[in-house]
Amino acid sequence: MSSTVNVQNTHISEKLRELHGALIEIVSVMNRPQRDEQMVREAGISLDRALFPLLVTVERLGPIGVVELADRAGRDYTTVSRQVAKLESLELVERRESAADRRVREAVISPKGKAMTDRIDAARERMGRAIFASWDEHDFNELVRLMRKFASDIGGSAEEPQGEGG
- Which of 6-15, 57-66, 85-94, 103-112 has the weakest average pLDDT? 6-15
CA distances in angstroms from 41 to 93, 110, 147, listed in the order given: 21, 21, 27
What integer is the mean pLDDT of 44-51? 88
Q: Could you give the CA distance from residue 69 to residue 54 in angstroms, rounded to a whole number?
A: 7
Q: Could you give the CA distance from residue 124 to residue 118 in angstroms, rounded to a whole number?
A: 10
Task: Decide: 36 and 52 in contact? Cβ < 8 Å.
Answer: yes
Share of the chain above pLDDT 90, in %: 58
- Compute φ and ψ for 133, nearest 5 degrees: -55, -35
Per residue in 54-96, pLDDT tens? 999 999 998 999 999 999 988 999 999 999 999 999 999 999 9
What integer is the mean pLDDT of 31-60? 89
What integer is the mean pLDDT of 109-127? 95
